[in-house]
Amino acid sequence: MSIEYIWKITQMERVLSTGMVTKVGYTLDAFDGIYTAGATGSLDLTPCEPDDMIPFGKLDEKTVCTWVIAALGEEKINEVKELLCGRIKEQHEPTYGFGLPW
């Protein structure tokens, strides 16, 4: 099963006086052409040196996604992708049902 993964930034928290981003909310969505599954999270960022800071108004989603991916690391990302793959597989071949008998 071929799955496409898409990162999205859903929220950023910043210090108003400096524009320094301190927290990022994100989602990782998986899509196999039929079904979707998603995972959300938030990440506290380690402050960078003021000279290395990108002004808040000049940030773009791609840059912030690279921060999230780097901070999470390959092992954690693979765990989440495996979980999402399992959720999609469950949609194709359900093993659980929901509802009431009446």
The pTM is what? 0.87
Position 47 scores a pLDDT of 87
The dihedral region occupied by 19, where left means phi > 0, alpha psi between -120 and 50, and beta the remainder, is left
Q: Give 19-68 pLDDT, tens digit per residue.
A: 999 999 999 999 999 999 999 999 999 888 888 999 999 999 999 999 99
Q: Which of 26, 27, 35 is nearest to 87 (CA)?
A: 35
Position 8 scores a pLDDT of 98
Position 1 scores a pLDDT of 66
Residue with the bigger pLDDT between 75 and 96: it is 75
- 62 secondary structure, DSSP code: H
* Average pLDDT of the chain, as a whole number: 95
